[in-house]
Structure 1
Amino acid sequence: MTKTEDMLLFGALAFVWGTAFTAIEIGLETLPPLLFAAARLDIAAFIFAGVVLLSRIKWVPRTSADLALILSNGILVIGAHFAFSFIGQSYVSSGVAAIVLSFTPIITPVIAIRLLPAERIYATDVIGLCTGLVGVIAIAIAGGSFDGQLLGIGLLLASAVVFALGSVLTERWTPVLPTMSLHTWSMVTGALFLHATAYAYSGASIRDVTWTPSAAAALMYLGIFATAGGFLLYFTLLNRIGATNAGLINYASPVVATIFGATLLGEQITTATVAGFALIVAGFALCNIRPLWRVTRTMQSPAVRNRSLERNEVRVQGNVYKTKADSQNYL
Structure 2
Amino acid sequence: MNTAAISTPPRSLAFELLLLAALATLWGASFTFIKLGVETIPPVTFIAARTVIAGGLLLCILRARGIRLPRDRATWRSLAIQACLNSVMPFTLIAWAETRIDAGLATILNSTTPIFAFLITWAITRHEAVTGRKLFGTVMGISGVCMIMGVGALTGLGSDMWGQLAMLAASLSYGAAAIYGHNFKHLDSMVPAAGSMLCGAVILVPLSLIVDQPWTLQPSDTSLLALVALSVFSTALAFVIYFRLVRTLGSVGVTSQAYLRIPIGVGIGVVFLGETLAGSAWLGLIFVVIGVAAMSLPARKAG
- The TM-score bracket by the shorter chain reads 0.7 to 0.9
| Aligned match of 2:271 | 263
SS at match of 2:90: helix
Distance between the aligned counterparts of 1:175 and 1:225, measured in 2? 22
Greater RCO, CA 8 A, separation 6+: 2
Which amino acid is 2:24 matched to?
A: A
Paired residue for 1:39, among 49, 74, 80? 49
- Cα contact 1:59–1:178 (8 A) shared by 2: no
Q: Is 1:213 aligned to residue 221 of structure 2?
A: yes
Cα deviations by residue, 1:45-92 (Å, 9 ceiling, x for unpaired): 01100111111123133262x133202111122111111111112111
Amino acid at match of 2:148: I
Name stretches of at least 5 consecutive residues in structure 1 with no aligned partner. 305-331
Structure 2 residue 119 is the aligned partner of structure 1 residue 113: no
Cα distance between partner residues in 1 of 2:159 and 2:93: 14
1:284 counterpart (287, 292, 296): 292
Count of paired positions: 291
Change (3 A) 1:197 1:165: farther
Residue 21, structure 1, aligned to residue 31, structure 2:
yes
Residue of structure 2 equivalent to 1:229? 237
CA distance, structure 2, for counterparts of residue 117 and residue 259 of structure 1: 36
Unaligned runs of 5+ in 2: 1-10
Alignment of 1:184-203 (within 5 A): 184-199=194-209, 203=211
Q: Is the 8 A contact 2:37 2:223 kept in 1?
A: yes
- State the alpha-carbon separation in 2 of the partners of residues 51 and 104 from structure 1: 29
Tell me, yes or no, if the aligned pair for 2:113 and 2:255 is still in contact at 8 Å.
Answer: no
| 2:76 corresponding residue in structure 1 | 67
One-letter amino acid of the structure 2 residue matched with residue 56 of structure 1: G
Deviates more, 1:152-161 or 1:128-137: 128-137
1:80 partnered with 2:89: yes
Contact 1:69/1:170 (<8 A) preserved:
no
Give the whole-Å Cα distance in 2 for the aligned partners of 1:227 and 1:109: 24
Map 1:101-180 to 2 at 5 A.
101-141=110-150, 147-171=158-182, 173=183, 177-180=187-190
Please give the root-mean-square deviation of Cα atoms over the aligned residues, in Å. 2.9
Percent identity over the alignment? 24
Contact 2:189–2:243 at 8 Å: present in 1 too?
A: no
Contact 1:73–1:167 (Cα < 8 Å) also in 2: no
Closer/same/farther in 2, CA of residues 77 and 3 from structure 1, 3 Å limit: closer
Contact (CA 8 Å) 2:143, 2:287: kept in 1 or not? yes
The one-letter code matched in structure 1 to 2:176 is L
Aligned to 1:315: none
Contact 2:30–2:230 under 8 Å retained in 1: yes
- Provide the rounded CA distance (Å) in 1 between the counterparts of 2:197 and 2:150: 34
Aligned to 1:30: 40
Whose radius of gyration is greater, 1 or 2?
1
Structure 1 residues 236 and 111 mapped into 2: Cα distance closer, same or farther (>3 Å)? closer
Q: Quick one: structure 1 residues 220 and 118, their matched pair in 2 at CA, closer, same or farther if it must change by over 3 Å? A: closer
Specify which of 245, 252, 256 is matched with residue 260 of structure 2. 252
Return the letter of the residue paired with 1:218: A
CA offset at residue 274 of structure 1?
Answer: 1.7
Q: Deviations over 1:255-313 (max 9, x none)?
A: 11111111111101332222111111222233346xx114xx5xxx9xx8xxxxxxxxx
On the 8 A contact 1:63/1:175 being kept in 2, the answer is no
User: What's the TM-score once normalised by structure 1's chain length?
Assistant: 0.77
Task: Tell whether the 8 Å contact from 1:72 to 1:170 is kept in structure 2 after alignment.
Answer: no
Indicate if the aligned counterparts of 2:140 and 2:291 stay in contact, CA closer than 8 A. Answer: yes
1:97 to 99, 102, 106: 106
Q: Structure 1 219/80 Cα, relative in aligned 2: closer, same or farther at 3 Å?
A: same
Using structure 2 for the length normalisation, give the TM-score: 0.84
* CA contact 1:62–1:177 (8 Å) conserved in 2: no
Could you give the per-residue CA deviations for residues 199-239 of structure 1, whole angstroms, max 9, x where no partner exists?
55xx2133122121111111111011111122234455566
